[in-house]
Copies of this chain bind each other. A is one copy, B any other.
Amino acid sequence: MRTDQNKILCSYYNDPNPLVLESGQKINEHQIAYETYGKLDKNKSNTILICHALSGDQFVASKHPITGKGGWWNRMVGPEKPINTDRYFVVCANVLGGCMGSTGPSSINPENGKTFSLDFPVITIADIVNAQLRLIEHLGIDRILAVIGGSMGGMQVLEWAASYPKKLVSAIPVATSSRHTAQNIAFHELGRQAIMADPDWKGGNYSETGVSPTKGLSIARMTAHVTYLSEASLTKKFGRKLQDKKDLGFGFDADFQIESYLRHQGLTFVDRFDANSYLYITRAMDYFDLEITHKKNLTEIFKGTRNRFLVVSFTGDWLYPTSENLMIVRALSAAGADVSFVDIDSDKGHDAFLLEEPQFDKTLDGFLSSVYSSLG
């Protein structure tokens, strides 16, 4: 049942059991905000778990309660769409550490009635997945038909397949990596520094001040956004076109369309995202290294897995390039896993997985249908 437990209308699961984190710290109780689409069948065998990316949320195919915009994967999820809600039961949860209703740094710490802020423990992708597992068990689902996600969502997919292979039939990591590279970490660090340099961040304790580090968060978002697009897509979309003017302004206002666009991206993001959540979630991504968490190499991690895998990358993605995705494919192959790999020709950059890419839709539809039918 959808409630507005935290002013955000969606479903909630309140987990009263302590969650032990990868750091060794513990969250005594937590809440996960989620959305579902379609119906769970009588065998409880048609669940697709969608894991969202850094700036995503549970509103994968429903109206966003703050922006009023459609779901971030409307294109992919719905009746007759590749993730066909006439056939599948779709679950998407806001990640632990998030700011759309799941417990995170902007939540109230039940121990002292104050906002967690930086008292919230640093979490990892494994912690996010463990909280999702609790939700899935709470929903009475013993086995997920497919877990799918792009970017940070793909990291969660890999972690699911590494830790809970028996809970899955198939796994679809998209435009991701088995560990965050130095360049990935570097770009995140820029964003974090921008947030922490904003005096309104106040050492993380801005929640009761009536202000928040909107300038810093806006710059963090702008920085990330540039990395999501390819040079080709930027050139195609903006080039050197001027914004509402015929000539250069010879000043520091936005002259070029790309400047206005980025400023807009930054400004609109701060309305729907919490700056501390941004710190925590980027940290979780930077910490992600499947081999370190599992103390094995990638092939050993997946040795003997019965899961079917579909790995998808995009040629224009320079943030999580094809080579990173191929590392996963090679390890899975060496582990004897049933793995399909598609490198989709696209000039849209990392964001391609969210955008109109018919070949991706077709590939996903085909793979899911095949997995679904194989259940008999």
Contact = CB atoms under 8 A, between A and B. Distances in A.
Contact of A193 (B181, B222, B289): B222
Nearest to A189: B259
A206 interface: no
Contact of A182 (B121, B180, B250, B256): B256
Contacts of A318: 231, 318
A189 B221 CA distance: 13
A183 interface: yes
Contacts of A250: 23, 25, 121-122
A219 B193 contact: yes
A181 B235 contact: yes
Contacts of A263: 189, 193
Interface stretch (A89-97, A107-115, A194-202, A303-311): A194-202
Interface in A227-259: 229, 231, 234-235, 237-240, 248, 250-252, 254-256, 258-259
Majority secondary structure of chain A interface residues (helix, strand, loop or mixed): helix
A283 interface: yes
Q: What bracket does the count of chain A residues touching chain B fall in?
A: 35 or more
B182 A258 contact: yes
A62 to B, nearest CB: 31
A75 interface: no
Nearest to A239: B182
Interface string A276-303: 0001000100110100000000000000
A64 interface: no
Given A181-B240, A190-B223, 10 more contacts: A23-B248, A23-B250, A181-B239, A182-B256, A183-B229, A185-B256, A189-B259, A189-B262, A194-B194, A197-B216
Interface of A: 23, 25, 118, 121-122, 179-183, 185-187, 189-190, 192-194, 196-199, 215-216, 218-219, 222-223, 226, 229, 231, 234-235, 237-240, 248, 250-252, 254-256, 258-259, 262-263, 266, 279, 283, 286-287, 289, 318, 321
27 contacts: A118-B252, A179-B240, A181-B235, A181-B239, A182-B231, A182-B239, A182-B258, A183-B226, A183-B234, A185-B258, A185-B259, A186-B259, A187-B226, A189-B222, A189-B254, A190-B219, A190-B222, A190-B226, A190-B262, A192-B252, A193-B218, A193-B222, A197-B219, A219-B219, A231-B318, A231-B321, A256-B286
